[in-house]
Chain A
Amino acid sequence: MNILVLLKMVPDIVEELEIGSDGTSLDLDAVRPIVSERDDHALEQALLLKERCGGSVTVLAIESRDVDEVLFTALAKGCDRALKVSGAGAALTSAKAAALLARTLPGIPNLMPVDLVLTGCQAIDDLDGVVAPSLAERLHLPYLGIVTAVDVPAGALKATVLKEFAAGVRGQYGVCLPAVLGVQAAEKPPRYVPVAKVRAAMKARTIEEVPAGAMDEASLLSVAAMTKPEAVGRAEMLEGDPEAVAAKVVEILSARGLV
């Protein structure tokens, strides 16, 4: 079972987000990049599959700020190979990223074909769709998204995949391999790896740089403006120390007969 995991960096939205001077994009210098949460779950699912089925996990990201640390962390967690696509330019949309990957992957030595491509089923900056299904189409592979569990019985040509619906209901699908899966959540929370192990990986392991394939994907969308959402309704803010605020809340609840 050889698995390729695609990771990408997104802004940490716990921090304040600032709009750039062009008024149409995020000020990327002002954000703290972190690995997209769903991609981190895709990585965990790949590592769980490797533990169960054997094989290898290769992790790949398009070059962006702080991505090296994320790739070394993946190596420290148990990935066999880390690849960084360089020369792609910044601010790729999902469709462009998928087009770029579809052109780049076949040229990477000793990589394709893989049995599974796993990545997040969604990222917070997916303006024009999601990379995973778009890549699946371009590689002519089947795709299933919003995945929460994957199993491949020994020697099977099909993966058994669980997809989330609503209210805790999941659907079980058979997916012919090779396939692309968009992961919502791994079967277990992403594993923790101590900083010391990441440092050790930085010393002992290498990230292979691969050049980006040619790009000729024209965007069919134009961004007219980026704005902070206008508050349609806005909460009445309660201020004071915790005790004062708590007293106000109880007053409000009491008036509604809720306490």
Chain B
Amino acid sequence: MAGNVWVLAEHWRGRLSDLTGEGLALGRELASGFGSRLEAVLLGHGAQALAAGLGAADGVLSVDHSSLAEPNPEAYCAALAALVEARQPQLLLVPLSNVAADVIGLLPARLHIPLVNFCRDARVVDGKVEARCVLYGGKLETTLVVSGAPAVLGLLPGSRAASGAAAAPAPSIEEVKIELPAEGRLSFEQYIDPAAGDVDITQQDALVSVGRGIQTQDNITLAEELAAALGGVVSASRPVIDQGWLPLTRQVGKSGATVKPKLYLAAGISGAPEHVEGMKGAEMIIAVNTDPQAPIFAVAHYGIVGDVLEILPALTEAVKAKKG
């Protein structure tokens, strides 16, 4: 008899993540494949009310402890290790966001169990999990077969549409007591919110977003000119922010903002999964990249193979001419 399929219910600042809903939808298929139950694992402190949003699961295992009040990989790992050892699930799906990602590497190493990272899809074949994983910035995929259980799957966004929790009845909640040290080697101290004052890129109709292909800080002017002509602003992918060329407030993607503008023009952005996560909901996506194989062309509506340093000025002129 196969063990149950678990999904780590990821929550942050009082809210369950969308990725948790996607995990529950995929988890339901995998649980059917194994003929087992789907359970959500809720770690936190005073967070039990969030279980109402986990109705897509058959049940919720809830661990309440002061050390789990904020994301703490050490405490999360200790709690999950104890749970997994005691209950022997078939599979634990962990959303690969910045909240839960740290535990993905720790838990399998502690328990000597298999781990599949960057998983975009999974199914059960002949009683084993076959997972499809994204590698090399989205340029290649690998199909893996997982031997043994329990196993941990780090789940990327976009595997399934999120399970609608609202319609489902509230699941049964089982409180599980786990002894955890009150103080570990890792302690959460405070959140630091970004400095206010810059434009809010989530509120713009048009974003001209620059990536590595913009090459230099000076070239960002080309994107600013186009953005101004379109009545929008400039945003960026990670490498541009890491270079210090634009402030953190302009970052689109997993660590930055999730944007849904009417127009998203991706200039010199390859389209790594971490970036796509933040912009795939844009109404129209136009991508410019020199690499015809760039993954961004799989999410864009229109694509241009070319150098942004030539395309951006041409676009600015054409938009200005149209607007008169």
Contact = CB atoms under 8 A, between A and B. Distances in A.
Given A136-B106, A242-B314, A144 B186 contact: yes
Given A129-B115, A166-B256, A259-B323, A171 B71 contact: yes
A164 interface: yes
B144 A127 contact: yes
A127 B143 contact: no
Interface in B266-324: 270, 284-287, 291, 293, 295, 297-306, 310-311, 313-315, 317-319, 321-323
A162 B193 CA distance: 12
25 contacts: A13-B136, A17-B136, A26-B136, A94-B117, A126-B135, A127-B117, A134-B106, A137-B105, A142-B186, A145-B105, A146-B101, A165-B255, A172-B188, A172-B191, A172-B192, A173-B72, A179-B185, A185-B241, A222-B144, A225-B143, A237-B303, A237-B305, A246-B315, A258-B205, A258-B263
A168 interface: yes
Contacts of B138: 229
B230 A258 contact: yes
B300 A235 contact: yes
A245 B73 contact: no
B186 to A, nearest CB: 5
* Interface-centre pick from B97, B101, B321, B323 (highest chain A CB count, 10 A): B101
Nearest to A227: B141
Interface residues of B, number: 101
A223 to B, nearest CB: 6
B145 A171 contact: no
B302 A168 contact: no
Contacts, number: 280
A13 B137 contact: yes
A216 interface: no
A249 B308 CA distance: 14
Contacts of A220: 113-114, 146-148, 151
A24 B140 CA distance: 11
Interface in A238-259: 238-239, 242-243, 245-247, 249-250, 252-254, 256, 258-259
B272 to A, nearest CB: 8
Nearest to A190: B242
A124 B188 CA distance: 28
A175 B301 contact: no
Given A173-B186, A221-B144, A222-B145, A133 B102 contact: yes
